């Protein structure tokens, strides 16, 4: 155990976060996200039993977002015509704002999101039950 590190961050995830460099991306996927198949060429960290908001909050305590891109946080867009509501996005916005005030959150079309996930440094698989709860973070620098 270490002081000041959220207990939800496993040794494996901490190692991944430390290995990442400026511009690398991290995906946090919901329970329906095809994390294992998309992480074939990267790293997969499993945090089953946890929701995305608690994982996002813990990660952003340590993880700087990239201030040199328009939107260092991206969400998977709802497929047109899908009658799904996404109240979890408001929770994400509150978490991001608490850690990195003024950060813009972008949206990526579903299949483009999958392609971006394939190129991510790592994918964190959660047990989040909300739909369209997937998020990509782009790492910045510690100043």
Whole-prediction pTM value? 0.97
pLDDT, tens digit, 9 for 90 and up, residues 88-142: 999 999 999 999 999 999 999 999 999 999 999 999 999 999 999 999 999 999 9
Contact (CB, 8 A) for 9 and 106: no
**Is 66 annotated in the active site?**
yes
Q: Per the residue annotation, which of 30, 57, 66, 92 is the catalytic one? A: 66
**Is 114 annotated in the active site?**
yes
pLDDT, tens digit, 9 for 90 and up, residues 33-63: 999 999 999 999 999 999 999 999 999 999 9
**Is 99 annotated in the active site?**
no
**118-133 burial string, b = 16+ CB within 10 Å, else e?**
eebbbbbbbebebbbb
Domains in the chain: ranges and CATH = 19-78+91-138 (3.40.1650.10)
């Amino acid at each position: 155990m270490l002081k000041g590190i959220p207990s939800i961050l496993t040794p494996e995830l901490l190692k991944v976060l430390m290995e990442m460099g400026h511009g690398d991306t991290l995906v946090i996927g919901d329970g329906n996200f095809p994390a294992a198949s998309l992480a074939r060429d990267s790293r997969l960290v499993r945090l089953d039993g946890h929701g995305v908001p608690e994982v996002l909050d813990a990660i952003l305590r340590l993880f700087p977002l990239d201030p040199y891109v328009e939107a260092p946080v991206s969400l998977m867009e709802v497929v047109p015509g899908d009658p799904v509501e996404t109240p979890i996005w408001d929770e994400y916005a509150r978490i991001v704002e608490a850690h990195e005030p003024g950060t813009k959150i972008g949206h990526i079309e579903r299949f483009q999101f999958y392609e971006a996930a394939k190129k991510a440094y790592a994918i964190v698989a959660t047990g989040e039950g909300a739909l369209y709860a997937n998020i990509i973070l782009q790492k910045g620098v510690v100043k």
